[in-house]
Amino acid sequence: MTVKAWENQRVLVTGASSGIGAAIARDLAAQGATVGICARRTELLDTVLDDCRKTAPASRAWTIDLSDLDGLEAFVRRVEDELGGIDVLVNNAGVTLGGDALATPLAALEAQLRINYLSPVQLTLAALPAMRERGSGHVVVISSMAARTSTPGEAAYAAAKSALTSYFEALAGELWFEAVRFHLVYPALIGLDPDVDGDDELAESSTGEAHIPAPVMARAVRRQLERGDFELYVPRTMQDFVARRSRNVTKATEFMASLYRDGTLH
């Protein structure tokens, strides 16, 4: 199942006060989708909402700390009530916190797991029943290349994104023959300035060393939904890198270790 007409879609984008989430919200609203956005920083959310409402007047925003897991079930019910339902859930909110494994206290690891893994899981579990009952729905998961490369210097982040990826691959497998579709996204380096855009070709052929502008990534995610693709690498060339890595993880780990030792990863 693919998304055909955005005018009929009600989309909840988490972490849409800045960066990738804001770009996805703006892009889908420009297609006419009614967008619900949420994050902690109300002022930034309001700016994004103003843009969305120019083309999608029924769009709404909610200020919420999504790492408060106990509140997420009630939050999804509220969004369903106020938007009239959720056709597409974009699990984007997250924190990118680097740090050597030996210097990361357990509390920081737990905090990353909460926002980068448990929160999108809980939101999805809360949104799925209505989607399954309706017989349609899409769940987007913004993971990270870190989940595929286990990057030295960001162990806690890579671990949380790996957990996220594994969970949603397994969940998608459980529901594969139902109507709800899952879409996993693996960004490499994304530039977060909303005023910097670029050619869509960057999402295809860029080598991954340069930042891909967030609006380019947002359009790539839209095309992923329109095509019904399960996986998206941004840029797409990263998929080959991941395939090569999986053929020889020892060699790939040694390669990353040498980059880490040389300071290239810092």
Which of 157, 167, 186, 233 is labelled catalytic? Answer: 157
Among 137, 152, 153, 187, contact with ligand NAP (rule: CB under 6 A) = 187
CA–CA dist 167, 66 (Å, integer): 18
162 part of the interface to ligand NAP, by CB under 6 A: no
Interaction mask 99-118, ligand NAP, x per CB under 6 A: ----------------x---
Among 3, 9, 12, 21, contact with ligand NAP (rule: CB under 6 A) = 21
Cβ proximity to ligand NAP: between 21 and 235 the closer is 21
Among 95, 97, 130, 252, contact with ligand NAP (rule: CB under 6 A) = 95
For the bound state, the minimum distance from the C-beta of residue 142 to ligand NAP, rounded and expressed in Å, comes to: 5
Among 144, 149, 162, 165, contact with ligand NAP (rule: CB under 6 A) = 144
CA–CA dist 166, 21 (Å, integer): 22
Would you call 167 a catalytic residue per the annotation? Answer: no
Contact set with ligand NAP (CB under 6 A): 15-21, 39-41, 44, 65-67, 92-96, 115, 142, 144, 187, 189-190, 192
Q: Could you give the residue numbers annotated as active site?
A: 157
